[in-house]
Structure 1
Amino acid sequence: MADEPIKGPASYFPSIEKKYGRPIAEWQELVRSRLPAKHMELVSMLKNDHGMGHGHANAVVAHVLSAEKG
């Protein structure tokens, strides 16, 4: 249903775009470009290289890895 709130990692996407000034698609592509790295390696990369907070980085990585699994 269209009126249901967004749940899971995607619920962070609006605040990620607002805080870091880049569309979520760019963050997702950045993570995809580093595959097949492990989850925490990708989280660390976003935190260390791009100044992203842990929760935001984890949400982006979790969403990308979930989509990659199909």
Structure 2
Amino acid sequence: MTDAVKGPASYFPSIEKKYGRPIAAWKELIRSALPARHGELVTWLKTEHGLGHGHANALVAHTLAEDSGK
């Protein structure tokens, strides 16, 4: 039996379904906006790309953690 996905990645299926863009594309977009702070990236995704707060936060948190090696 596989473990259920937890944390920010648990939002990924609904993000892809709702916004029609693969997670890899969102991560690339976030990385293109670096350097920026977590909150700035979340606000940017919400205002410029129409994401909800939880979805934007999950994408930013996962991307930044991935890039920091955590």
Whole-angstrom distance in 2 between the partners of 1:11 and 1:32: 20
What's the secondary structure of 2:34's corresponding residue? coil
Using structure 1 for the length normalisation, give the TM-score. 0.95
Number of residue pairs matched? Answer: 69
Whole-angstrom distance in 1 between the partners of 2:45 and 2:32: 12
Taking the TM superposition and a 5 Å limit, the aligned residue runs for 1:1-70 are 3-70=2-69
Per the TM alignment, residue 68 of structure 1 is displaced from its structure 2 partner at its CA by 1.0
- Please list every run of 5 or more consecutive structure 1 residues that lacks an aligned counterpart in the other structure: none
> Over aligned residue pairs, what C-alpha RMSD do you find?
0.8
Whole-angstrom distance in 2 between the partners of 1:60 and 1:22: 12
What's the CA shift string for 1:12-51, capped at 9, x where partnerless?
0000000000001100100011111000000011000010
Flag as ranges the 4+ runs of structure 1 deviating above 6 A. Answer: none
